[in-house]
């Protein structure tokens, strides 16, 4: 039975890893073509509008699909998301109207929203909770790996063919893999005669007066202070990640006078750092979660504590890249790559932790809804990183924006420390529930 479980886990994990990487590649496919769109007459503000439209739709899509993931087949959700993302990308490549650009990329964002809620549901059913952090982080890191490779692929396709051909490749890959995932993914272990980890854990969960954990409602999630704390923190880190990842190349080229090769390597190195950082954070979070008594005594939650530490370090990274004496076009390449790598590692680490916290803190029947709610704040940050940020940058500068993010990130860490008693109260509430 154990061998059979491992066999199916390997298939599920491999398909999800590749599929979510394709989701991420497709989601950024237009971002990579922005320089060409600008050459054809699209302003940077218009590019920001296209990005914000997608991010707004992505937020809406994640909320809707998060709720749907508790009610429909995760396989259908994942595969249809890939298929529709590919269709709208192909349509985008065939138009030259700005308003159609916005509409089609909005629809692409809605479709993209199906990706991670389905992944989270597969993880919860197919993998043990004590290893959820590492599996979650590795799957999420597929996005970093994809985005580290795709800039070079897109650059090659654009240079040798056109930006439209590049989008056609992205759309075709999405559609092709959607068919493969539909055939390969198995919704639940029960479908092949196995027992899901959710079913194994569920009988131990009780609530007040002996009621089942299924009696928790969506309202219970929405009034929980811990959920609001990680939602706000998630929004800040995602806003920062989106600004640095999407507009860092413009900052380096236009404001710091970096050459194109160095500016492009900044994005790729950021993603490589994110990949390594996500995996390492996953291992560390699972390790400290197994030793709650030793590591929770000084702070309210080990995973949230780890996220706060990462926030401190990426804040330092933000300060460095905005300091002309520490980070400039003549900075030695090894130092440039080291700073970028560490910035990426510390930016992407907390993103995985907040997602895990949101999912594992909720009852199984509300895990998708909980993640969707928290993730909606992350996508709100992504929306702000589009048109609002570029509008502010046009008035001041991207350096000014990064300095604001530096300050807000430190405020976020301070909030985690000041509200540690609230977070501890959430944990204790769950323990009391189990005793009754």
Q: Other CB atoms closer than 10 Å to residue 331's CB: what's the count?
A: 17
Q: Where are the domains of the chain?
A: 1-202, 205-436
pLDDT given at position 208: 44
Question: Mean pLDDT over all residues of the chain?
Answer: 80
The per-residue pLDDT for 210 is 44
Residue 57: phi and psi, rounded to 5, are: -65, -35
pLDDT at 212: 46
Q: Which residues contact 122 (CB under 8 A, 6 or more apart)?
A: 12, 16, 74, 78, 185
**What value does the mean pLDDT take over residues 375-386?**
81
> Token digits for 273?
């750092």
Class of the CATH-defined domain 205-436: mainly alpha
253 DSSP 8-state letter: I
- Residue 217: pLDDT band by 50, 70, 90 thresholds? low
Place of tokens 């994110």: 274
In CATH, the architecture of 1-202 is Up-down Bundle (1.20)
Q: What is the pLDDT of residue 324?
A: 81
Whether 247 shows a pLDDT value over 50: the answer reads: yes
User: Can you give the pTM of this predicted structure?
Assistant: 0.69
CATH fold match for the domains 1-202 and 205-436? yes
Q: What is the DSSP letter of 323?
A: -
- pLDDT of residue 209 exceeding 50: no
In three-state secondary structure terms, 318 is helix
- State the Cα–Cα distance between residues 125 and 117, nearest whole angstrom: 13
Q: State how far the Cα of 110 lies from the Cα of 63, in Å rounded to an integer.
A: 10
Nearest to 336 by CA among 319, 321, 314: 321
Give the number of C-alpha atoms closer than 13 A to the C-alpha of residue 66, restricted to the C-beta side.
22
Distance between CA atoms of residues 235 and 422, nearest Å: 19
Quick check: 92 pLDDT over 80?
yes
pLDDT grade for 289, boundaries at 50, 70 and 90: low
In this structure, what DSSP letter does residue 72 have? Answer: S
CB proximity list for 87: less than 8 A, separation 6 or greater: 171, 175
What is the model's pLDDT at position 434?
A: 45
3-state DSSP of 281-309? HHHHHHHHHCCHHHHCCCCCCHHHHHHHH
pLDDT at 301: 65
In this predicted structure, the answer to whether residue 302 has a pLDDT above a threshold of 50 is: yes
Over residues 168-206, the pLDDT tens digits come to 999 999 999 999 999 988 887 787 777 766 554 444 444
Cα 291 to its chain centre, rounded Å, is 27
Report d(CA 224, CA 401) in Å as an integer: 32
> Between helices 98-112 and 74-92, what is the axis angle to 10°?
170
Mean pLDDT of 350-367: 72
Q: Dig out the tokens for 162 from the structure.
A: 């056109």
Asked whether residue 419 carries a pLDDT value surpassing 90, the answer given is no
pLDDT of residue 111: 93
């Amino acid at each position: 039975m154990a061998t059979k479980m491992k066999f199916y886990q390997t298939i599920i994990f491999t398909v999800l890893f590749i599929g979510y990487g394709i989701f991420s590649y497709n989601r950024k496919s237009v971002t990579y073509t922005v320089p060409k769109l600008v050459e054809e007459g699209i302003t940077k503000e218009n590019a920001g509008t296209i990005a914000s439209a997608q991010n707004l739709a992505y937020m809406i899509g994640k909320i809707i699909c998060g709720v749907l993931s508790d009610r429909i087949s995760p396989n259908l959700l994942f595969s249809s998301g890939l298929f529709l993302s590919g269709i709208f990308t192909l349509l985008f490549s065939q138009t030259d109207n700005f308003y159609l650009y916005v509409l089609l990329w909005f629809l692409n964002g809605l479709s993209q929203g199906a990706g991670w809620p389905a992944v989270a549901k597969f993880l919860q059913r197919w993998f043990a909770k004590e290893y959820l952090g590492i599996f979650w982080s590795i799957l999420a890191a597929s996005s970093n790996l994809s985005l580290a490779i795709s800039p070079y692929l897109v650059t090659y396709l654009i240079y040798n063919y056109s930006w439209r051909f590049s989008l056609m490749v992205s759309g075709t890959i999405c559609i092709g893999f959607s068919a493969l995932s539909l055939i390969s993914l198995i919704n639940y272990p029960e479908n092949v005669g196995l027992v899901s980890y959710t079913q194994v854990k569920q009988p131990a969960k009780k609530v007040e007066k002996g009621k089942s954990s299924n009696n928790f409602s969506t309202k219970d999630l929405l009034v929980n202070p811990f959920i609001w704390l990680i939602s706000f923190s998630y929004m800040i880190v995602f806003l920062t990640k989106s600004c640095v990842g999407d507009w860092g190349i413009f900052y380096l080229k236009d404001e710091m006078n970096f050459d194109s090769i160095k500016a492009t390597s900044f994005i790729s190195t950021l993603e490589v750092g994110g990949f390594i950082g996500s995996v390492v954070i996953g291992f560390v979070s699972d390790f400290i979660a197994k030793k709650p008594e030793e590591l929770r005594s000084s702070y309210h939650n080990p995973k949230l504590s780890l996220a706060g530490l990462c926030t401190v370090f990426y804040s330092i990274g933000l300060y460095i890249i905005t300091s002309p004496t520490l980070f400039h076009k003549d900075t030695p390449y090894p130092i440039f790559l080291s700073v970028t790598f560490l910035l990426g590692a510390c930016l992407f680490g907390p993103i995985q932790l907040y997602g895990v916290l949101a999912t594992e803190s909720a009852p199984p029947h509300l895990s998708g809804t909980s993640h969707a709610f928290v993730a909606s704040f992350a996508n709100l940050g992504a929306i702000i990183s589009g048109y609002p940020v570029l509008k502010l940058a046009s008035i001041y500068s991207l350096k000014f924006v990064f300095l604001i993010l530096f300050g807000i990130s430190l405020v976020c860490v301070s909030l985690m420390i000041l509200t540690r008693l609230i977070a501890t109260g959430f944990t204790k509430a769950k323990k009391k529930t189990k005793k009754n």
